[in-house]
């Protein structure tokens, strides 16, 4: 996580931006493991548990992008697929 935060802060952070904060989401969290794993880290890193839900809560409906919208945005940032030309056999 420190690697990614250092890279993000050095390459992407604007002059008026505050330092990035890393967030690690876990299905189960052990406070002792978290304490010792992050004890010497220089960047702020938070750890939280998450729970999956069967349905989207009503307050989020219409506020989150659809899978199609996310895919369309992702395509803008991905390089075009490379095509390889094959030689014809004589």
Neighbours of 2 (CB within 10 A): 13
Residue 86 has pLDDT above 80, yes or no: no
SS3 17: coil
State the pLDDT at residue 84: 66
pLDDT band at 90; cut points 50, 70, 90: low
State the pLDDT at residue 17: 92
Q: Give tens-digit pLDDT for 25-74.
A: 888 888 888 888 888 888 888 888 888 888 888 888 888 888 888 888 88
Domain ranges of the chain: 2-77
pTM over 0.85, yes/no: no
């Amino acid at each position: 996580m420190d690697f990614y935060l250092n890279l993000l802060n050095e390459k992407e952070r604007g002059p008026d931006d505050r330092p990035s904060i890393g967030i690690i989401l876990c299905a189960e969290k052990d406070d002792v493991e978290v304490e010792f794993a992050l004890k010497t880290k220089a960047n702020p890193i938070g750890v939280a548990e998450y729970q999956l839900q069967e349905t989207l809560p009503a307050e989020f409906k219409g506020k989150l992008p659809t899978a199609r919208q996310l895919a369309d945005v992702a395509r803008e940032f991905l390089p075009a697929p490379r095509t390889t030309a094959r030689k014809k056999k004589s």
